[in-house]
Amino acid sequence: MAKKLKKQGKKPADAPAAPETAGAMTDPAEVPAVVRTLAEPICHVEGMDLIHVEYQREMGGRVLRLYVDKPGGVTLGDCQALSAQLGDILDLKLDTLDAYTLEVSSPGIDRPVSRLADFEKFTGVLAKIKTATPINGQKNFKGILSGIVDKESDAKVQLETENSAVAIPFQDIFKARLVNYDGDNKCL
């Protein structure tokens, strides 16, 4: 379930800027990292885990989407409460050129996977992974997650595909999702 709020574009010229962002616009590529830093402590206090942050252009404009989860699943009320808290903080701390829609949602059955620990946690689960650069001429992979190798240096996600095993450098993963994951954390 998603709760949507519309951020009101740029602040008036006479409005004071937040000290952390005074005079500096946040680069769109940096928005997910900035939002993760601001949202994780709030999620922790609310007993939720911040699964993934996306900031992308869609047909209706920019969307800032946060996926959260907690033991037993998240409720619509959880999403609404977190959205209200984050909306206020982001209006103060996140300085973007474009207006955006804030969505807070459960991860759903095609759960995004973006943290190394999650690739390890979901060992044995079917996933789709898209890489930034080709590996053996291929950028799209589908298979069973089978662990992490080289955790200390250049971590690689092991994936058992229909034809072979492939080690995908973690830093090269552009997008990853579980496929039809129906774990114990269902949206209520």
pLDDT in tens, 15-42: 334 444 444 677 888 899 999 999 999 9
Q: Which fold has domain 116-178?
A: SH3 type barrels. (2.30.30)
User: What pLDDT is stored for residue 13 in this prediction?
Assistant: 39
User: What pLDDT is stored for residue 2 in this prediction?
Assistant: 41
Cα atoms in the Cβ-side hemisphere of radius 13 Å centred on 158: 12
pTM of the entire structure? 0.75
Round to whole Å and give the CA distance between 177 and 20: 33
- Give the CATH H-level superfamily of domain 3-105: RimP-like superfamily, N-terminal (3.30.300.70)
Round to whole Å and give the CA distance between 169 and 148: 10
Q: Could you give the residue ranges of the DSSP H alpha helices within the chain?
A: 31-45, 76-93, 116-121
User: What pLDDT is stored for residue 48 in this prediction?
Assistant: 94
Name the token pair of 184.
């114990």
Distance of CA 167 to the CA centre of its chain: 22
Please report, for the chain, the start and end positions of each structural domain, with discontinuous segments joined by +. 3-105, 116-178
User: Is-contact 154 171, C-beta < 8 A?
Assistant: yes
User: What pLDDT is stored for residue 20 in this prediction?
Assistant: 46
Cα atoms in the Cβ-side hemisphere of radius 13 Å centred on 59: 0
pLDDT along the chain (188 residues), means of 10: 41 40 69 93 94 91 93 92 92 85 91 91 94 93 92 87 92 92 55
